[in-house]
Structure 1
């Protein structure tokens, strides 16, 4: 079986014999029932392939749809002129960079369909082209825009540049409304939605299907599709890893499933990670490793974000769907970028609960954040955590604490603002990483215990203090009876009191008792 990893061209997939998960019935439904659509999905989720499939359909390429649902649905196969703008191509680090990409797109069309001297702006050139193309070809045009928001995302921490991109694209996209009589169909995709009051404010005819129940699976792979198309890939995973079918499918689900794009919606697998796993037979962090969410880290550090709240976010639909809310929180862009997903929905009060979609994202994001909050270089996180886990599994809490102290050595230059919040975030990341290999319980509010780590032979109870003492921390464990729930457990129990110095910005002491 051939897996279309990194291949986004529908014609190439069909002609070269790659597996194709049939979404064409949904495309037919969109074309039949409307004209203007917007879809937000995370990167590498199949948006570009979706647009390529639409381009083939509207170009009348019936030969490419043999054996697919579209073959039995479409009877006319009308050929429309297709304008396909891909904003993936470009590094948007100046106002001119966006102009050059749009100018290149328009210039190539103008070489075929002509131009007028009065069309002096990008939007006027686009407007004139749509009309001329429709009249010359005798059919209304189809407009497909891939990653409409790429320029603004790349300028997310540059307010001035982002505003210039926003204004340019707002004017450019507004043509889709003014030239309605010459447009058969328009479809825009992106990672984020930049608010109804900004880029799309003039496009009140644009239907957002990002959370529409009918199209929730238009990108990604469902559980049913997993078995319908990829039994051979599952067998490869089974043979490579020495698993049975049930365990292999459970592991695939744990690592790559869990995306929900609406309340009470169907779970969707990350297609990029699945295809790579089937091709290699090996489980890996394929999706996470292809993109570096540095801008998300900058947003969280800018807002002094309390990381434990990442997996306990409750937000409204309007807040979730507008990237303009990033002025108040990094959560909308984290959801729309695929690092958080919908976990629950309160129908009474109309709010969503968010969390990590799966283990690949949770583990990858935690590992990525570690260098920003500890003295760990990029890529060294698994090695440090491995040493931590071995120390705890072997009953060496003193070694664990010495390694912990090393992690926080020389981190004061990274701390901006509240040192206590900084250390809370760092310990959150460490406990998350430990939790992938051990059993970890952790709460940090209302006087409850800070962290419990359980291994096969040991239980470790941690209490952290700030500008007090390790003795005070240990005393709280005893006074609050934190060890009491484990009195009947046969494992050896260690109580560990730890103190952080906000002045020295490091762990300045700990005390261990059995």
Structure 2
């Protein structure tokens, strides 16, 4: 088994034969759940891989790859009519810098959006009859130009937004004077982040945007924007989508049994007890194992013949930020030494 620890590109994962816990059976339910969806999970919980899967499934430019990427998965046996029917644009707000004053942060947000719109234009240039105009100092105008180009074609846009609240949370929790003021300037009144989401909301009103899928850590930023974006539907507590990211205990146990058959001085029951104690702390609709930490643990079992000596990981905090809470795994070992301390 090849474990995709730290890998969030769906195409690479599938084509290079990495282990993938298939969640494509939920795609029909995602489509039925609404056109503007919000899915919140702690950091490092597999949200970026989820968006990558959606991108590959709906992108009209990847229609020729459908059988290669999805033929062996649940949705490949029963695809929805919407597969490979959209232009797909992806924004990743974890890439927007949070340092500096408000004008610096706003410039970074304009730059990120313009970069993504420019890449979008290059990717779908053969589909558009009119060019997209990039306005260096006004990404909202660039966005409106992209929508205009899309609206003149038979296809519509699917917008993916990863870590929508990342840089705003960083601004809010920065240990410096004026952090609250900078946060409010971005989100309240005519703040730029609020304006961006207002433009997304407006675009879904017949301007070429058909669907939106947003991931983030908490609902705080959306709540503070109030009317800026009040049309999104939260699906993170819906039992249907509870394990859209994350592993169930049955899935973890199945992997451990498989790995135990490959060898190693450990037992699946002992390993599961350790993981149940330290990696199963996410109480959503039902308990889930953190996928990033679980993959790390699996790789250690496979490569070293036992659990990592110790691990330290940041865990979710109070909703408005990831608190600096570290928990250390107990050092159970099947032999005297399992290699250097790993973090």
Task: Please tell me the TM-score bracket, short chain as reference.
Answer: 0.7 to 0.9
Q: Residue 228 and residue 71 in structure 1: after superposition, are their counterparts in 2 closer, same or farther (change >3 A)?
A: farther
Aligned partners of 1:285 and 1:364 also within 8 Å: yes
Residue 87, structure 1, aligned to residue 108, structure 2 = no
TM-score normalised by the chain length of structure 2: 0.77
Residue 144, structure 1, aligned to residue 160, structure 2 = yes
Which one of the candidate residues 321, 333, 340 is aligned to 2:320? 333
Higher relative contact order (Cα pairs below 8 Å, separated by 6+ residues): 2
Distance 2:135 2:17 in 1: 48
- In structure 1, the residue matched to 2:108 is 97
- In structure 1, the residue matched to 2:78 is 73
Which one of the candidate residues 315, 327, 332 is aligned to 1:363? 327
Once the two structures are TM-superposed, the CA of residue 17 in structure 1 deviates from its matched residue by 0.3
SS of the aligned residue for 1:184 comes to strand
Once the two structures are TM-superposed, the CA of residue 107 in structure 1 deviates from its matched residue by 3.3
Distance 1:230 1:128 in 2: 51
Describe the superposition over 1:224-243 as per-residue Cα deviations: whole angstroms up to 9, x where unpaired.
2223455333556x82xx33
SS of the aligned residue for 1:273 comes to helix
Q: Residue 48 and residue 191 in structure 1: after superposition, are their counterparts in 2 closer, same or farther (change >3 A)?
A: same
Aligned partners of 1:38 and 1:188 also within 8 Å: yes
Q: Which runs of 5+ in 1 are unaligned?
A: 297-330, 340-360, 366-381, 383-514
Aligned partners of 2:87 and 2:156 also within 8 Å: yes
Once the two structures are TM-superposed, the CA of residue 206 in structure 1 deviates from its matched residue by 0.5
Structure with higher Rg: it is: 1
Distance 1:364 1:131 in 2: 52
Once the two structures are TM-superposed, the CA of residue 90 in structure 1 deviates from its matched residue by 4.0
SS of the aligned residue for 2:288 comes to coil
Distance 1:195 1:150 in 2: 9
Q: Residue 172 and residue 26 in structure 1: after superposition, are their counterparts in 2 closer, same or farther (change >3 A)?
A: same
Distance 2:311 2:199 in 1: 38
* 1:80-479 mapped onto 2 (5 Å cutoff): 80-94=86-100, 95=105, 96-110=107-121, 112=125, 114-116=131-133, 121-136=138-153, 138-156=154-172, 157=174, 158-166=179-187, 167-180=191-204, 181=206, 182-199=208-225, 201-235=227-261, 239=264, 242-261=265-284, 265-281=285-301, 282-283=307-308, 286=311, 288=313, 331-333=318-320, 337=322, 363-364=327-328
Aligned partners of 1:174 and 1:203 also within 8 Å: yes
Once the two structures are TM-superposed, the CA of residue 78 in structure 1 deviates from its matched residue by 3.9
Distance 1:55 1:87 in 2: 17
Once the two structures are TM-superposed, the CA of residue 89 in structure 1 deviates from its matched residue by 2.4
Matched length: 298
Distance 1:53 1:155 in 2: 30
Aligned partners of 1:194 and 1:200 also within 8 Å: no
TM-score normalised by the chain length of structure 1: 0.53
Q: Residue 140 and residue 200 in structure 1: after superposition, are their counterparts in 2 closer, same or farther (change >3 A)?
A: farther
Q: Which runs of 5+ in 2 are unaligned?
A: 302-306, 330-340
Describe the superposition over 1:329-383 as per-residue Cα deviations: whole angstroms up to 9, x where unpaired.
xx3336xx488xxxxxxxxxxxxxxxxxxxxx66359xxxxxxxxxxxxxxxx9x
Aligned partners of 2:165 and 2:221 also within 8 Å: no
Farther-moved stretch of structure 1 (92-101 vs 193-202) = 193-202
Once the two structures are TM-superposed, the CA of residue 75 in structure 1 deviates from its matched residue by 4.8
- In structure 2, the residue matched to 1:480 is none
Once the two structures are TM-superposed, the CA of residue 196 in structure 1 deviates from its matched residue by 4.6
Aligned partners of 1:140 and 1:184 also within 8 Å: yes
Q: Residue 133 and residue 270 in structure 1: after superposition, are their counterparts in 2 closer, same or farther (change >3 A)?
A: same
RMSD: 2.9
Distance 1:283 1:90 in 2: 34
Q: Residue 285 and residue 161 in structure 1: after superposition, are their counterparts in 2 closer, same or farther (change >3 A)?
A: farther
SS of the aligned residue for 2:158 comes to strand
